[in-house]
Amino acid sequence: MTKTRSRRKAAITPAANALLSPQIMAMVDSAVVGASEAAFGGDPVLPEEVSSFVSFCASIQKRDGGLIEAVISDTIAAAPHFTAWKPDAYPITRRAEELARSGEIDPEDPPQLPQNKSIARHIRIDQFAVDLRTLTATAIEIKRSSYLGKAIREAARHDLLSTAMLARSYARKNGIKAMTGCSVLICFYGDVTPDFQGFTVLTRETVDDYFGVAITPVVEAARAYFSHRVRQRLEELVTPMTGILSDATMLACMEERGLGSPLEEMAPPPPRSGRRPRLAAV
């Protein structure tokens, strides 16, 4: 209980809220409201109040990663030494696709390829930023952690190579001067794993220094506010559940759904007569 109280106080301190823009706070509020209003299928075993609680918790967990991505992107875009945006569709040329698949490209020194009309595919990237101090164009992929499935890891490596080779030309195509291009993977609550050896992988400990922007304090403040708002909503959901799991209520709920009484199902079988069954004559 003591730990919960201390975390709640930290979630609403003026120092934490001072780091949050009205846009980020509105984003957090919208995420909580969206999770509350998310449609859920009723469970034939659970009462409606419990189903709502479970649905909200599942939806909140999914929205946490999106919140981290949005806060990081907005914080980089707000920095005066960056021009940054979220591309609707990042074009990958056939040449970049071939080189990325070849396995011969050094992720620490990818070749800089031109954009052309020979497009193999378009992909979604989380952020594209050009550092106006160094004229470096960066394609940014953001993950909540580094615990990624095998297929996701392979796709991420492929996309990181492809976007790095085309980052400089993509910036120039959009009218922004760039001298070099690269790509980075942000695993905010993760570690640098061997799966991305040679790639630039950033965590909460290194992302601020890399971009020259105080990103981590803003993300932590946003998640603290997010946790505070989630706890408020959980308290609202828990109140109607008071007593819902009592024996009488649960039995009535199960009988209402035609499931019978669990006590009846657990009743011992009737005693045997002790006589051995007679075998039919052959």
Q: What pLDDT does 42 receive?
A: 62
pLDDT tens-place string over residues 5-36: 333 333 456 666 677 888 888 888 888 888 88
Q: Is residue 180's pLDDT more than 70?
A: yes
Set out the domains of the chain in order of their start, with CATH numbers. Answer: 2-73+222-242 (no CATH), 81-212 (3.40.1350)
Lowest mean pLDDT among 16-30, 66-80, 119-133: 16-30
Q: What pLDDT does 206 receive?
A: 95
pLDDT, greater one: 179 or 248: 179
CA nearest to 92, candidates 108, 116, 112: 116
pLDDT tens-place string over residues 55-67: 888 888 888 888 9
pLDDT tens-place string over residues 203-262: 999 999 999 999 999 999 998 999 888 888 888 877 766 665 554 555 565 555 555 544
Q: Is residue 3's pLDDT more than 50?
A: no
Q: Is residue 150's pLDDT more than 50?
A: yes
Residue for token pair 């990958």: 92
pTM: 0.74
Q: What pLDDT does 2 receive?
A: 35
Of all helices (H) and strands (E), which one includes residue 84?
strand 82-85
Q: What pLDDT does 257 receive?
A: 53
Could you give the 3-state DSSP secondary structure of residue 202?
Answer: strand
Q: What pLDDT does 199 receive?
A: 94
Residue for token pair 């909540």: 144
Q: What angle do CA 24, 28, 33 make, to 5 degrees?
A: 145
Q: What pLDDT does 250 receive?
A: 55
Could you tell me the maximum CA-CA distance found in the chain, to the nearest angstrom? 100
- What mean pLDDT is reported for the chain? 81
Q: What pLDDT does 20 receive?
A: 82
Rg of the chain in Å (alpha carbons):
27
pLDDT tens-place string over residues 258-274: 555 444 444 455 555 55
CA nearest to 81, candidates 246, 184, 213: 213
Q: What pLDDT does 9 receive?
A: 37
Q: What pLDDT does 35 receive?
A: 83
